[in-house]
Amino acid sequence: MEEVLMGKKHPFIVFGKPTIGEEEIQAVTEVLKSGWIGMGPRCIEFEKLFAEYVGSPFAVSVSSCTAALHLALAALDIGPEDEVITTPFTFVATVSAIEHVGARPVFVDIDPATLNITPALIESAITRKTKAIIPVHFGGLPCAMERLIGIAKDHGIAIVEDAAHAIGARYKNTMIGGFKGSIACFSFYPNKNITTIDGGMITTDSQELADKFKIMRLHGLDNEAWRRYSQGHQLTFSEAVMMGFKYNMTDVSAALGICQLRKLEDFLSARERYAEIYNQHFIDLPCTIQYQQTPIHTGDRHALHLYTLTLDLETLDTTRDAIVQEIRDNSIGATVHYRAIHLHPYFRRLGYTSRSLPHSERISNSVITLPLTPSMSEEEIERVASVTREVIVRHLP
Cα separation of 74 and 209, whole Å? 11
Active-site amino acid positions: 192
Angle 73-105-183 from CA coordinates, rounded to 5°? 30
Question: What does DSSP say about strands 307-311 and 367-370: parallel, antiparallel, or unpaired?
Answer: antiparallel
Cα separation of 197 and 247, whole Å? 15
Cα separation of 164 and 65, whole Å? 6
Phi/psi for 206 (5° steps) reads -105, 115
Q: Write the CB contacts of 244 (distance below 8 Å, at least 6 apart in sequence).
A: 215, 216, 217, 218, 219, 220, 221
| Helix 251-282 / helix 378-394 crossing angle, nearest 10 deg | 50
Cα separation of 388 and 307, whole Å? 13
Element (H, E) at 32: helix 22-34
Q: Are the C-beta atoms of 271 and 374 separated by less than 8 Å?
A: yes
